[in-house]
Amino acid sequence: MLAQSVIENIIDAALSTGGDFAEVFAEDKVNSSIVLIGGKVERSISGKDFGIGVRIFKGTNSVYAYTNDHTEDRLIAMAKKASQALSGEGRTEAVKLQTEKVNTIHPVTFAPLDVAKSKKVAVMRDIYQVAKNYDQLISQVTIGYNDVDQNVLIANSEGRLVEDRRIRTRLSAQTVASNGEEMQTGSYSPGAHKGFELMEDLDLSYYGSEAARIAVTMLKADECPSGQFPVIIDNDFGGVIFHEACGHGLEATSVAKGNSVFAGRLGERVAPDIVTYIDDGTLPNEWGSQNIDDEGEKTRKNVLIENGILKGYLIDKLGGRRMGMPSTGSSRRESYKFAPTSRMTNTFIAPGISTPEEIIANTEFGIYAKYMGGGSVNPATADYNFAVNEGYIVRNGKIAEPVRGATLIGNGAKTLQKVDMVGNNLGHGQGMCGSVSGSIPANVGQPMIRVSEITVGGRRQA
Amino acid sequence: MEMTAFKERLFKAGSKAGFEEMELYYVNGEKFSTKVYENEVDSYTVANDGGLSFRGLIDGQMGYAYTEKIDETSIDLLVQEAKENLGILDTEDREDLFEGSSSYPQLDLYAEKLEQITPQEKIAFLKKLEKACKDQSEKVSSVNYCMLQSFASEKRIANSKGLDVQNKGNAVYVFVSVVVKEKEDIKSAQTLKVSRDFSKFDAGKIAEEVVAEALSYLGAEPVKSGQYPVILKNKAAASLFQTFVGSFSAENIQKGKSRLAGKIGEKVAGENITVIDNPHDEKRFSSRSFDSEGVPTKPLNVIENGVLQTFLHNRKTAKKDGVSPTGHASKASYKGTIGISPSNMTIKAGKKSYDDLISESQEAVVITDLQGLHSGANPISGDFSLAAHGYLVKAGKIVRPVNQITVAGNFFTLLQQVEEVGNDLEIELPSGGSIGSPSLKVANLSIGGK
């Protein structure tokens, strides 16, 4: 992407005014997205993202600059301009970069550019037919196909020069069910660190009919009651609740400045002993996986909570400087337009011993959240909120009628304490996670779990 | 690379490949952002970035491609990708490009003076703001965001049918978030200010406002679940309104994704509701003299005294409905295809102040903030069930703060049931000056709490 000598000159320019660390991040990414609505291909756009970011540290002060201009003199001028935000003695020793080889642990068979768009469209039509024909109540179906081929180069003043290629593909099915008066929606969006081979691995008829079934079920559902109830959250994307409620609070972004309820509590009990929480960027070909993070560190498996005891945080270089702790390979960013910071990759609750049947059978009255929607958390207070896309009442140990419009709210640290059953059916779901370094692909995961009490918001009185 | 020369080469390559009409959409900008934490510069970012997109027609079908690498080597990629993208389309709608208009409104959206403010002045302002927040109260435990962003950008749209328009804009944003602590109780509040006049920012006033808000939430508890009269404070009302503005898009109507389909001329809201889209207000930040297809913009009443007047159109949806385009074609960036979005869309202010709405309420829940709008609200059905916080009102007075509650309802039903419209329309929140609403009092919403 850039010649080694050019990168070395940029790093030297960046350290000309007293910075003690400089990094270059170059990105060349081809994106393609296709949208099929009502059986017709309505939109298809593709293009190239391209740019270079330069980051400089002095102690815990940091400066970031980026541009799309890749001419050497403009890049050096930008590095110099950025360095002027810091003051001090410049470094005289020139950097000498050493290429580090990355062995991919996420092999890809069919890169997006090698597959004709018409082949991608054929898959979209297949899943469209499944969803559309699921039920007469399905009034609209939108299918999206996105793929990304991202090439990154990372170099820094410690001599590191490393490159990585990340290919990701995602298919999404969104349905609308309508009875003429009301509309309800359903969706399913599987994705992976894979190329077109993902389409061969996926059971399209399963995802298409699930997306349609959710909308139809919710159209026929009654409003959810409000109040505080036991809540059973199913596996897979259900893990989004702990991603928001705990995961973000374990990132150096909030821990380093003490703006997290988990700050300064390593070794303390933060959850019941049935809870183990892990972030693992090495899971082969998973949506949130990559070989190296966006500072060039190898991704790894980080145990955050083990049997209820807080064991670790997710740490990037700058957060590590503030905390006096090493990086955990957790530095990520949306693109060269963002300085990287500590983020999750594939985060999940480890499987327990209860079967899903036991968990349901042990619940006299509560809410069963089969599919979760998105949510958000205030990292300072750990207050969270989540939508339930498909919910049911549990009565006398059995799943009863479906309910719509449920929202779960609570406090992350407190909810974690109230996990009282953990299932044995771990699954992962795919999402886009937003934070200070942009929107990045991340897996959330868990087995079925039960929380003894969560505030449920709905439109009906209990 | 010089844009006019690049355009000529690109269009030449395009017509060779069979494109009949072609357009170039180019954006370029400068950005600066910085954060202060504990009287130190915590982050500092400077950027110069942009990109361009190419679109072109063959047999009435439009192909798109874009690049951020603006040089010779990208011309082939743009033409080939656009052609392949076009090749898979099978929509029946036929498009063409706009030849331009003889007159465009003149808007002044760029303040020369703003470009003279140095990074040092901006950092000094943030340090002053952070200190002012801490000085407000001993309970301020942290100012967890104290940041400023400024940008200047230019946009040009030029096509083979003669359209060639460009504009320039700039603005500066300040965002501050404070955390207050009393024993184990932690609360926070945020505010966003935006301007083209840096001297308008008053650190003391911003600090006073945001810290007072955070302190007012200490000691909050849920209310009992039930039906309550609700006062949605301006910021909360605007964020709810923003979630549902897509319902006014003709594209969503035509695709069966809006409940407002077929309702023009009908009462879709109470008589006290008028919704205005005004792209010409120079004090706001989504103002524009032309839209993303180069069509001139104009102010529009979308709802007048409860009656739906129009949908928002681009050229394609207008053609399909047999109406004139309304100047609402939009592109999220050069990376997007043409869609539809409002400019500055607001619910028109009424007469009563926010304080009047409170003092005239026997019992009510005031909602100052809604969370989870991207997940707990269904933009198509209008249903919402959202986490919220605010205050409990009894006998005309705020008696205590409320948190850990949910508020649920349906936006389209709510529009019919607004009892009072406040006079406190603000344009800055939630999104920096695009969508706005005054405070709204609603007779009845479901609150989930204790």
At B341, the pLDDT band (50, 70, 90 cuts) reads very high
Q: What residue of B is the nearest CA neighbor of A225?
A: B448
Instruction: Assess A121–B contact: CB distance below 8 Å, yes or no.
Output: yes
The pLDDT score that the predictor gives to residue B433 is 60
Beta strands in B118-213 (DSSP E): 140-159, 164-182, 185-195
The pLDDT score that the predictor gives to residue B222 is 94
CB contact under 8 A, A182 and B65: no
Query: Has residue A300 got a pLDDT over 80?
Result: yes
Residues A233, A183 share a domain: no
At A457, the pLDDT band (50, 70, 90 cuts) reads confident
Query: Has residue B75 got a pLDDT over 80?
Result: yes
Out of A189, A220, A251, a domain closes at A220
Of the partner residues A226, A376, A458, the one whose CB lies closest to the CB of residue B371: A376
Entry pTM: 0.91
Average pLDDT, chain A: 94
Q: Is B217 helix (H, G, I), strand (E, B) or coil?
A: coil
Out of A175, A204, A220, a domain closes at A220
Residues A198, A322 share a domain: no
Query: Has residue A232 got a pLDDT over 70?
Result: yes
Instruction: Assess A87–B contact: CB distance below 8 Å, yes or no.
Output: no
Residues A214, A104 share a domain: yes
Query: Has residue B1 got a pLDDT over 70?
Result: no
Q: Kindly report, residue by residue over B60-69, the tens digit of the pLDDT.
A: 999 999 999 9
Rg (C-alpha) for chain A, rounded Å, is 24
The pLDDT score that the predictor gives to residue A261 is 85
What are A125's two structure tokens? 């039509």
The pLDDT score that the predictor gives to residue A1 is 87
Residues A251, A196 share a domain: no
Residues A250, A213 share a domain: no
Query: Has residue A461 got a pLDDT over 70?
Result: no
Pairing of the two strands B140-159 and B61-67: unpaired
As for the ipTM of the complex, it is 0.90
Domain boundaries, chain B: 3-217, 226-448
What are B339's two structure tokens? 């869609």
The pLDDT score that the predictor gives to residue A432 is 94
Q: Kindly report, residue by residue over A113-166, the tens digit of the pLDDT.
A: 999 999 999 999 999 999 999 999 999 999 999 999 999 999 999 999 999 999
For chain B, give the percent of residues with pLDDT over 70: 98
Residues A362, A229 share a domain: yes
Ordered DSSP codes for A210-237: HHHHHHHHHHTPEEPEEEEEEEEE-SBG
Instruction: Assess A103–B contact: CB distance below 8 Å, yes or no.
Output: no
Residues A338, A195 share a domain: no
Q: What is the CATH number of the domain that holds A66?
A: 3.30.2290.10
Residues A450, A381 share a domain: yes
H/E stretch holding A4: helix A4-14
Q: Kindly report, residue by residue over B162-206, the tens digit of the pLDDT.
A: 999 999 999 999 999 999 999 989 999 999 999 999 999 999 999
d(CA A240, CA B14): 46
Residues A136, A261 share a domain: no
The pLDDT score that the predictor gives to residue A87 is 82
The pLDDT score that the predictor gives to residue B431 is 58
Query: Has residue B432 got a pLDDT over 60?
Result: no
Q: Which of residues 170-189 of A touch B (CB under 8 A)?
A: 176, 178, 182-185
- Structural domains in chain A (count): 2
The pLDDT score that the predictor gives to residue A90 is 82
d(CA B145, CA B127): 12
Angle between helices A117-132 and B74-87 (to 10 degrees): 30
| Host domain of residue A340 | 223-461
Q: Which of residues 415-454 of A touch B (CB under 8 A)?
A: none
Residues A125, A200 share a domain: yes
At A388, the pLDDT band (50, 70, 90 cuts) reads very high
Residues A195, A95 share a domain: yes
d(CA A170, CA A160): 32
Q: What is the DSSP letter of B184?
A: T
The pLDDT score that the predictor gives to residue B430 is 55
CB contact under 8 A, B374 and A339: no
Residues A340, A398 share a domain: yes
Tokens 């949806």 found at: B317
Out of A180, A200, A220, a domain closes at A220
Q: Kindly report, residue by residue over A182-192, the tens digit of the pLDDT.
A: 888 899 999 99
Q: Kindly report, residue by residue over B283-321, the tens digit of the pLDDT.
A: 888 899 999 999 999 999 999 999 999 999 999 999 999
Q: Kindly report, residue by residue over A85-112, the tens digit of the pLDDT.
A: 888 888 878 999 999 999 999 999 999 9
CA distance to A412, B7, B164, B169, B331, per residue, from B159 (Å): 53, 9, 7, 22, 16
CATH topology of domain B3-217: PmbA/TldD fold (3.30.2290)
What are B95's two structure tokens? 């498009």
Instruction: Assess B212–A contact: CB distance below 8 Å, yes or no.
Output: no
Query: Has residue B264 got a pLDDT over 90?
Result: yes
The pLDDT score that the predictor gives to residue A382 is 81
Q: Is the peptide bond before B430 cis (omega within 30 degrees of 0)?
A: yes
Q: Kindly report, residue by residue over B170-179, the tens digit of the pLDDT.
A: 999 999 999 9
